[in-house]
Amino acid sequence: MLVMKGKKEKVFIMADFDDTIFARKNQLSKEKLLRENRWDAWTKIMKEVLGFDYMLKKYYKNKKFPKKILNKIRNNDWIVLTAWDKKYQLLKQKVCKLEDIEFIVVDKAEQKPERLIEYFKKNNIKTDLIEIYEDRPNYFIENKSYLEKKLNTKIDIYYVEMDWNRWYKKIELVK
């Protein structure tokens, strides 16, 4: 019997880092200063009060975290597109031993869709499908048809909810 195999779809994976690959719940629940302040104060607290070195050693160095999305990333073309402080995000990449994955860091989450377009254009990437993994996918959801048109491809957006750094509560295709 002859079995004909169909053409394999070329998939590009884009994932966020914080609360998509590595959960921050532990640090946010244990650090009193972070718990008692709003998100917009965290940068100053982490940089000037607690210090990046302290945070990296206590919460990232040699810590286990689920690999389900990372394994999917490593089996396709991929990037991690994340937001916040570039220096800190790249230090987390190094401490978590993820240097084999390209990290792109933007200042604010709302910049991610345009940065994804820039990345594709700059690197002349053509793909059949982009899978986006995000704990806060709203900017991608709002811009999905625009992104599909600009990148001339289909996009699937997955909402990710982590169970601390043990596993994933949810990886759900957004309809």
SS3 78: strand
**Percentages helix, strand, coil for the chain, rounded to the nearest 5?**
40, 25, 35
Domains and CATH numbers, the chain: 11-25+65-173 (3.40.50)
Q: What is the Cα–Cα distance from 21 to 168, expressed in whole angstroms?
A: 9
pLDDT surpassing 80 at residue 172? yes
pLDDT digits (tens, 9 = 90+) for 86-130: 999 999 999 999 999 999 999 999 999 999 999 999 999 999 999
Higher pLDDT, 72 or 6: 72
SS3 108: coil
SS3 70: helix
Confidence of residue 25 (pLDDT cuts 50, 70, 90): confident
137 residue type, one letter: P
